[in-house]
Structure 1
């Protein structure tokens, strides 16, 4: 068997689950379905342990030995890392798995920042949140960005060789929302409203560059970014400011805080990426296997 092509993947959370679902769909066999289920269920349990919601019967090293089966195809390996929560507790996360997609062999390798691993040419292929691309390399312009399909056009080739290929369909949205009294009754919270708005806009500090890229600098003239306090719920902070942008699926929590849910400004989705400078036959075969048209995704570059 030829050496498997390494693919950088997230270590935990919704993006990793989306990657494993893509792998299972492409491979179309029960062993890959089982891999996706085992990794997802294990990491959900470990998250509950880290949060203190569940008390584990055995220590982390015993659990690692139970979970991992190194070297076997379609079998996962896990590792320990320090979580960023208070006290820096140890957390078991995904480490690696070798999979066979109809004769195309891949080694999924867990990374804290897959996008950056592609930027430094450690990997030719990888999966990460599209948000990371906007936060780091997408150019800021006067006009806003409305679709991830347009992201590659805004990447300066001098900054990086990484390009988005397509999305995995695990979509949530950066959504505009505000208190009803912030606007006239007949006015909707949308991009046109922001273009005429002057005042505070509450966002997460990490999304300042992303929101600027999505809305465009022209629309943000007269807008002041404000941020939630460290222990404050995002929706509560937006309610205090009157207007804000937050990641949401249904918007039910926003409405619980008295907010009207406005325009979905931009999809947040796990994406397949490639480093265009890293080309060989094995990488191209791996890309062909992974680059499938997912109807659930809003992204097709």
Structure 2
């Protein structure tokens, strides 16, 4: 049987979501747990919250099995933290399935690897798709199943197939003083009627424009968190902002009220339709949740 290569992130929540979904479908739970626990340990070392067991070269040698593709391989990257430490990240592993072997291949930017036709299938954050290719319109983009309608077919052959449900949200946050300045909830309509500064991460500027709708931003001026400070603290100083939240506890600690959940930040399965085959279609089915409605990838 053939081997289908699938581009995946090298670390973090999106990779964990892919491994957990594949394990649920193939029974490769032990393998997924091994990769996830290894990368969490290495992240803790990089952040200085865990002492290293041996130097980085000995650790990567212990983790990687080069002569068996069904065992994981890891690689080294420079982390962008102070001192640019070397960080061990995922490289590849091959998992047997009913539709042939599936090789997960680590990429720094899986979405862009699909855009250049290196892969037929891959996983990345929905955030990156919004930042890269969705069209900006007056109307707000409110859900993942609307993304494909905003992608210009002349721009890319890549489409979103389905989400993996590892959802956190880009949430509208405001101080009580700002929230009480209008009647009604802290939502998109609030922003449309608001004049002033909106604090956002600079890397999410295009995403925020998409999920709020350009028509709501006529009287809005974006500001950005200062280097080294907490985003919630800068939003509190500004009065209104958008930031990723799970429980919202940190936002509340800074005196912020949680408004509308504007858009899910979720890992999505992507397909380059130009590279689609019957095998890649079957492999894509492995990652879909039968209780969810998959998106039309055309």
Report the TM range for the smaller structure's normalisation.
over 0.9
Name the structure 2 match of 1:205: 202
State the TM-score, normalized to the length of structure 1. 0.94
Confirm whether residue 228 of structure 1 aligns to residue 233 of structure 2.
Answer: no
User: Is the Cα–Cα contact under 8 Å of residues 80 and 91 in structure 1 kept in the other structure?
Assistant: yes
SS at match of 1:57: coil
The structural deviation recorded for 1:136 is 0.5
Given candidates 281, 286, 300, the residue that maps to 2:283 is: 286
The structural deviation recorded for 1:177 is 0.7
Number of matched pairs: 295
The superposition leaves residues 221-277 of structure 1 with CA deviations (integer Å, 9 ceiling, x where unpaired) of 100100010111000000000000000011110000000000000001000000011
User: Is the Cα–Cα contact under 8 Å of residues 99 and 283 in structure 2 kept in the other structure?
Assistant: no
Give the whole-Å Cα distance in 2 for the aligned partners of 1:65 and 1:183. Answer: 54
Name the structure 1 match of 2:72: 76
Name the structure 2 match of 1:95: 91
Q: Unpaired runs of 5+ in structure 1?
A: none
Confirm whether residue 51 of structure 1 aligns to residue 24 of structure 2.
Answer: no
The superposition leaves residues 40-95 of structure 1 with CA deviations (integer Å, 9 ceiling, x where unpaired) of 10001101111122221311111111111234354211011111112211000000
Name the structure 1 match of 2:187: 190
The structural deviation recorded for 1:193 is 0.4
Name the structure 1 match of 2:121: 125
Given candidates 166, 176, 199, the residue that maps to 1:170 is: 166
The structure-2 alpha-carbon separation of the partners of 1:236 and 1:200, relative to structure 1 and needing over 3 Å to count, comes to same
After the TM superposition, which of the residue ranges 150-159 and 60-69 deviates more from structure 2?
Answer: 60-69
User: Is the Cα–Cα contact under 8 Å of residues 168 and 294 in structure 1 kept in the other structure?
Assistant: no
The structural deviation recorded for 1:293 is 3.1
Confirm whether residue 142 of structure 1 aligns to residue 135 of structure 2.
Answer: no
User: Is the Cα–Cα contact under 8 Å of residues 35 and 74 in structure 1 kept in the other structure?
Assistant: no
The superposition leaves residues 110-150 of structure 1 with CA deviations (integer Å, 9 ceiling, x where unpaired) of 00000000011110000000000000100000111011100
State the TM-score, normalized to the length of structure 2. 0.95
Name the structure 1 match of 2:270: 273
The structural deviation recorded for 1:290 is 2.6
The structural deviation recorded for 1:20 is 0.2
Confirm whether residue 20 of structure 1 aligns to residue 19 of structure 2.
Answer: yes
Give the whole-Å Cα distance in 2 for the aligned partners of 1:199 and 1:60. Answer: 48
Q: Unpaired runs of 5+ in structure 2?
A: none
Give the whole-Å Cα distance in 1 for the aligned partners of 2:290 and 2:230. Answer: 36
The structural deviation recorded for 1:281 is 2.9
Given candidates 158, 172, 177, the residue that maps to 1:181 is: 177
Give the whole-Å Cα distance in 1 for the aligned partners of 2:275 and 2:49. Answer: 43
The structural deviation recorded for 1:299 is 7.4
